[in-house]
Amino acid sequence: METPLSCSSSRPRFRHTRRARLLGTLWAAGAFLFTCVSLGAFPPNPSYTIYGMVRDQVGATLRVDGAVLVLLANGTEVGRTAVRPESLGDLNYELDIRIDQSRPTTRVYSTKALPSHGLYSLYVELNGERFYPIEGKVYAIAESADLRTWTLAAISTLPSAASGAPYYRATASGLLRGYVATAPGASRFYRLTVR
């Protein structure tokens, strides 16, 4: 004769008391607070995406395989992305940048994160060479009264634009103001040429 199988548990049931639940909750909250205080880090800001079009020295869209856009912070690489050989609308690269909140009482959560409002620089790496965005660029400002005939204006980096040269060659990355001498009462149009 077959005997039906039966399942029975010989373990005693444990009852949660209010006190046990309260102690468990307090322990979990204490562990959470201890972890947050001991780490000293703060949650990061959302990442920021930069995108654009990499162009060659004459302004044509770069259409090659193997080009890489590199992100630098304080001269150290913190990110990189491939430059697409085919553009997607008005872009051929996208790069996510991690940003730290830079609170004075916390530490940076990652060495690859930029501080809020931090400075960074970019270069394109192709065939083992680095190409910086404005390396050796030459700037010229031309002026016209009728938008048909243009003449070069002397560029000065000082507000007193009485003296200057017709061209300015960039020697470093950064912001620099350029000034040209103007005649009172005369309407002029100006254009900037970058080579």
Q: Is the domain of 123 the same as that of 72?
A: yes
**Which residues fall within 8 angstroms of residue 59, CB to CB, at 6 or more apart?**
none
pLDDT digits (tens, 9 = 90+) for 48-67: 788 888 888 777 888 889 99
Average pLDDT value for the chain: 75
| H helices present in 40-157, as ranges | none
In a domain, 86, yes or no: yes
Which domain, by its residues, includes 157?
Answer: 134-195
Q: Which residue type does 94 have? A: E
Strands of the sheet containing 129-131, edge to edge, are 76-82, 68-73, 121-126, 129-131
Residue 192: which H helix or E strand, with range? Answer: strand 189-194
In a domain, 161, yes or no: yes
State the pLDDT at residue 134.
56
In a domain, 28, yes or no: no
pLDDT digits (tens, 9 = 90+) for 94-123: 988 887 766 666 665 667 777 777 778 888
CB 110 within 8 A of CB 125: no
In a domain, 19, yes or no: no
pLDDT digits (tens, 9 = 90+) for 119-146: 788 889 999 988 877 556 788 888 999 9
Does the predicted TM-score (pTM) go above 0.75?
A: no
pLDDT class for 82, splitting at 50, 70, 90? very high
Q: Is the domain of 84 the same as that of 156?
A: no
Rounded CA-CA distance 94/16 in Å is 54
Number of independent structural domains in the chain? 2
Question: CA nearest 42: which of 105, 135, 122, 113?
Answer: 105
- Between 19 and 180, name the one with better pLDDT: 180
Q: Is the domain of 138 the same as that of 127?
A: no
